Chains A and B, each alone.
Chain A
Amino acid sequence: MGILSKKATCNSHGQDSSYFLGWQEYEKNPYHESLNPSGIIQMGLAENQLSFDLLESWIAQNPDAAGFKRDGQSIFRELALFQDYHGLPAFKEALVEFMSEIRGKRVGFDPRNIVLTAGATSANEALMFCLAEAGDAILIPTPYYPGFDRDLKWRTGAEIVPIQCTSSNGFKITASALEEAYATAHRQNLRVKAVLVTNPSNPLGTTMSEDELNLLVTFVISKGIHLVSDEIYSGTVFSSPSFKSIVEVLSERPDCRQSASDVWDRVHIVYSLSKDLGLPGFRVGAIYSSNRAVVEAATKMSSFGLVSSQTQYFLSAMLSDKKFTGHYIAENRRRLGQRHESLVRGLREAGIRCLDSNAGLFCWVDMRHLLKSNTFEAEIELWKKIVYEVRLNISPGSSCHCTEPGWFRVCFANMTEETLGLSMRRIKEFVAAYSGAASTPSCGGCGGDEMRNHRHHSKGSSGKNKFLNKWVFRLSPSHRREADDR
């Protein structure tokens, strides 16, 4: 007694994976264009920082939403007291309309089917608590978002069984992979409860094809299991093929008519504003389901992670402004497309290819030709070089449970155009040196210019300066003079 729970002491939170270790390295030596130009550039964080100016300009023009006011009257008291787990009706209405707009208004959503949660992290976990328990398995196509290991398994006790996808067909889901995964789960004595897909995909950046979607629907109908479609990147689709949501596919299938099938009771969508609007700090997630029992249970569970009423109110005002949302959705897509193009081009100039993608905040990059051997050890070795020498924090495919070594997820929307350009220059230099040399000196990957122009920081107010201190003492011998000049 007095010891902690098993959950507290086990590893299921997944935080020891390389996905998070890369972040830790970044924290110790973060790039800053003036304070630390040779630091590590963060390309492992799928944030959307491209469209804040649009949000800020809306805010400046709409002071009421900012100041807890409606029509000039203070509603602070009502907001501060509002803890109804059904959520602010105006916000839910605005949210479902926003979701519909993202899908070109081809489908409509009922606000009564929405459950608000503190981020998609909470939405995914709450949904799992409703659908599965210890002894159950969720099938997920690889590669997948590393956070799922924590969100879906840790406190629920459910297991994940991968649906293996490979580069041979662009990592698309196949019927045989589905069946194989199902059989694997059974061999492990697990009951399969659901398939969970991320569409558009993280880390692939692709939208699921109509064939894949139909395959999935057929599969869940035949097995009588749930289908969860995590569509948090639905607003990041910047080129064709256009995004097709799971509900569109269901609406079009004759065997899914409500009278013919109960599949609608088993299809659920997860959404969030963290990626499309770039507001991960606000913790706005949602579960959408037409299964009343799921909505009711999940609504009660949302008590453990509600969305702040302050945030609900602000966003309901913003998302109800249709002129704004229309312009935002289109402009955001355009900027993402442009940025994607810059990354793809930059990598191509370094002789590196990406999976063809049309969505997301990242590219799925093929660096198999740079591996010393076709193994995950080699992948990690390459990854470490890229983190420590090229000073780019990218995510190795193994952290996303990819079955083939050599793939990396590289984010492009969480930095300025200039920083992206710099990262491409570093990659090019690295590839040139790497392919040519047998071994590289410890700082061979460092861009010479940045080291010479490096200025040490003075005491700043940013918390990041704490990390610069630690970094300074890790400089290699050839740079000791700069350290002493501080």
Chain B
Amino acid sequence: MRSGRKPLLSKLATNDGHAENSPYFDGWKAYERDPFHPTRNADGVIQMGLAENQLCFDMIEEWLINNPQASICTAQGLGMFKDTAIFQDYHGLPEFRNAVAKFMGRVRGNRAKFDPDRIVMSGGATGAHELISFCLADPGDTFLVPTPYYPGFDRDVCWRTGVQLLPVVCDSSNGFMVTRNALESAYENAKAANTPVKGLLITNPSNPLGTVLDKETLRDILSFVNEKNIHLVSDEIYSATVFNDKPRFTGVSEIIEEDQTLCNPNLVHVIYSLSKDLGFPGFRVGIVYSYNDEVVGCARKMSSFGLVSSQTQHLVASLLSDDVFVEKFLSESARRLENRHRIFTDNLDQVGIKCLQRNAGLFQLMDLSHLLRDKTFEAEMELWKVIIDEVKLNISPGSSFHSSEPGWFRVCIANMDDQTVDVALRRIRAFVSRSEGAMAASAKKKRCWQNQNRKLRVSLSYRRMEELMMMPPLSPIPQSPLLRAQT
């Protein structure tokens, strides 16, 4: 029997569920084509769309030099090579789990304690989100997620799992706080649409907002999920990027340890990773931490599909077991993040750009609504293209984060050196004064000229975008020097 017209590949392989056709990645493509370099390409596009933490590598490199045994390939560590290389137990190295559990507690000022036996490995937070979705939900089930949210969730939570995300709309009228009303309303919408809600996904500290949830809101959230008997997945991957106590970071763990009657712990799960707090996205260290024993058991079996390299487990275990280093690192990292934050907010403020008040994350949310031609997402995209093409900054438009209000842009500020910060701020200042200068002209003439100019600029921008679309698919990650290196 011949196969006839049976499709060659699966639906998953050919659909858009990977979410990479979103404009979120177009900016990265612009960067790939023309990456900024302080000496070799001073006019290039500066990458401000990638939430990396590059502020503390010097501290880690120094630690590595002083701790050669952390690598199983140095003379000091070679004795561990064989045992580590054959270790593929999905429980993970005990010392790895112990060190990560201790670190997570430390990051929360020891106000919560983590059990190493509940630590489950995954392929980065990306893998962790997919894994927890597979454990908690079936195809067709829904997770509620407050907007704006990290675009990667569309892929991580939904693509291969068949789970859907339904937004809980939050807006700037109250600083994007997650209200009980918004939660109830989203839940009712889902019910009415016959899409059973299985859980709520929160990111705390938030990406893209950079804010932390206050205790009251968290208690509200926990009581909400308990009442509806749905799961709570709390993505806390930015927990160590909180740089001051205004307000202090509170994770869900602290609350449920404090008040054991508030929520059934079987509904509570935490996602963690070392990619943001330590700046190690390349090492793929993701963690699923669940208070539900059955979930731990299932997740552990599933973790086979994305275990952390034992070589990396060994390194991380050594690093995070060094209490003196960890203390030093956490306080210095917070100091540097706060410093970078202040530089940006002060400078942006001077040119009339307000940012959402925050005390965490690796990025700012800028309010550029006053620069929009009108309060529409089309206008937001137009402005974004101008910023990429003319200002040469790859920043992320709020629409890519499913924001309900146009005009917000996320700009990453911890992934560059001080020199590049200067250049970026200079360009922003220049752009704002150009825009303001243009706006000072008479209204009618101005509108006419602007329309023509804008159309020209926009059409130029669109053409360039189209050219970029024709390029072979690139990873949504900026070009690393390693791509050009010879071994």
Contact = CB atoms under 8 A, between A and B. Distances in A.
Interface of A: 1-2, 4-9, 13, 15, 47, 49, 52, 55-56, 59-60, 63, 65-68, 70, 74-86, 88-90, 94, 118-119, 121-122, 125, 129-133, 136, 150-151, 154-155, 182, 186, 191, 193, 222-226, 265-266, 274, 278-283, 293-294, 296-301, 303-311, 313-314, 316-317, 320, 463
A320 B52 contact: no
Contact of A82 (B197, B231, B309, B482): B482
Nearest to A224: B3
A125 B305 contact: yes
Contacts of B312: 308, 310-311
Contacts of A316: 487
B31 to A, nearest CB: 13
A67 B306 contact: no
A26 to B, nearest CB: 13
Contact of B306 (A49, A118, A129): A118
Given A8-B294, A309-B282, A79 B482 contact: yes
6 contacts: A2-B266, A4-B292, A94-B487, A118-B123, A121-B304, A136-B10
A311 B229 CA distance: 42
Q: How many B residues touch the partner, as a band? A: 35 or more
B237 interface: no
Contacts of B480: 78, 81-82, 84
B9 A155 contact: no
Contacts of B306: 118, 122, 304-305
B483 interface: yes
Listed from nearest, the 5 A-B pairs whose CB atoms lie closest are A66-B73, A281-B310, A309-B282, A305-B306, A224-B3
B134 A155 contact: yes
Given A52-B82, A81-B282, A76 B61 contact: yes
B400 interface: no
A132 B7 CA distance: 10
Interface in B219-247: 228-231
Nearest to B126: A303
Contacts of B1: 182, 186, 223
B482 A78 contact: yes
Contact of A305 (B73, B82, B84, B127): B127
Interface in B260-275: 264, 266-267, 275
B437 interface: no
B114 to A, nearest CB: 20
B481 A78 contact: yes
Given A75-B482, A225-B3, 11 more contacts: A1-B229, A8-B294, A66-B71, A67-B71, A76-B60, A81-B52, A84-B483, A119-B304, A224-B6, A303-B126, A308-B309
Contacts of B88: 119, 274, 280-281, 283
Interface of B: 1-4, 6, 8-14, 18, 20, 52, 54, 57, 60-61, 64, 68, 71, 73-75, 77-78, 81-82, 84-88, 94, 123-124, 126-127, 130-131, 134-138, 141, 155-156, 160, 196-198, 228-231, 264, 266-267, 275, 279-284, 292, 294-295, 298, 301-302, 304-312, 315, 473-475, 477, 480-483, 485-487
Contacts of B282: 79-83, 308-310
Contact of B136 (A5, A59, A75, A79): A5
Given A5-B135, A80-B57, A274-B88, A129 B483 contact: no
Contacts of B130: 304
Contact of A129 (B87, B155, B160, B229): B160
Contacts of A67: 64, 68, 71, 73-74
Nearest to A62: B73
B424 to A, nearest CB: 19
Contact of A222 (B2, B298, B485): B2
Contacts of B68: 67
B136 A4 contact: yes
Nearest to B305: A122
Nearest to B60: A76
Contact of B160 (A63, A155, A182, A314): A155
B9 A294 contact: yes
Contact of A311 (B127, B138, B275, B309): B309
Contacts of A4: 135-136, 292, 294-295, 298
B309 A283 contact: yes
A317 B487 contact: yes
Nearest to B484: A89
Nearest to A88: B482
Nearest to B2: A224
Contacts of A298: 13
Contacts of A49: 82, 86
Contacts of B309: 118, 281-283, 307-308, 310-311
A310 B315 contact: yes
